[in-house]
Homo-oligomer: A and B are copies of this chain.
Amino acid sequence: MSMSETLEQVSANKCFGGWLKRYRHHARALDCEMTFSIYLPPQAEQGKVPLLWWLSGLTCTDENFMQKAGAQRVAAELGMVIVCPDTSPRGLDLPGEHDSYDFGSGAGFYVNATQKPWSRHYRMYDYVNDELPSVVRQHFPVNGREAISGHSMGGHGALVMALRQPGRFASVSAFAPVVNPSVVPWGKKAFGNYLGDDRGLWTQYDACELVAKGASRQPLFIDQGENDDFLEEQLKPENLEAACEKRDHPLTLRRQPGYDHSYYFIATFIEEHLRYHARHLKIA
């Protein structure tokens, strides 16, 4: 077994009859040590079960969702593994890497960077899309059926990964996703630094652009709080609505009155998202 296939268990907490575990491993795609969280429902002790990927937002680690969303209760009922990757490479000290909350550490934006000094490590698309799934399939009782969801920057990641790979995920959903990063401050800063000026490359990581290209027909299920402080400047769900309408792309966008960008919003609606994914994963 090569070093890259070795998992070191960091912690294990019994939770709703299953186990929440954290593992550290060497990520080849990122050339650094990474930690991820995995919730194994009670059903995983009897056989293989489907898997939901959760991609977190800016400043998060692999822990926030597991601590705050309350998803394990429903995953334990449905028999669903949940995996939360971290949101950027860790343990490095690249110039400026830790200077801002919306770029560098905690802000990998699920892209493969092409620009120095980021291109050596900041390859979160490959890590989350290929390397970590391979590790998970090798070490845990998953049955090959996968769905994906995420929040904010992670909602962007989930939409992009699903739209670029028709058929890869049984279903995709998002909470307050960055749907059009090419035109908003968070995205322009991240893409400019990670990807440089190649606007053609930007479009491969932009849900609105991917819908416009019409590569996938997969339905999109999105919840968005109407009192979200980032709604108008960074999230712009109306841009995705327009893109979907133009291509007749199936979109369910629910605007939730009073809800903000926090995990209290996610906790409120995560059960509906998990049950949506369970139907597509054929376990409900």
Contacts and interface: CB of A to CB of B under 8 A. Distances in A.
Given A67-B67, A67-B68, A73-B70, A14 B264 contact: yes
Interface residues of A, number: 22
A72 B267 contact: yes
A15 interface: yes
Interface string A232-275: 00000000000000000000000000111011110110000000
A20 B264 contact: yes
Interface in A13-57: 13-17, 20
Q: A16, A72, A227, A264 — which one has the most chain B CB atoms within 10 A of its CB? A: A264
A144 to B, nearest CB: 28
Contacts of A73: 70, 267-268
B14 A258 contact: yes
Contact of A268 (B16, B258, B259): B16
Given A67-B67, A68-B67, A70-B70, A16 B258 contact: no
A30 B265 CA distance: 34
B260 A13 contact: yes
A77 to B, nearest CB: 12
Given A72-B267, A267-B72, A13 B262 contact: yes
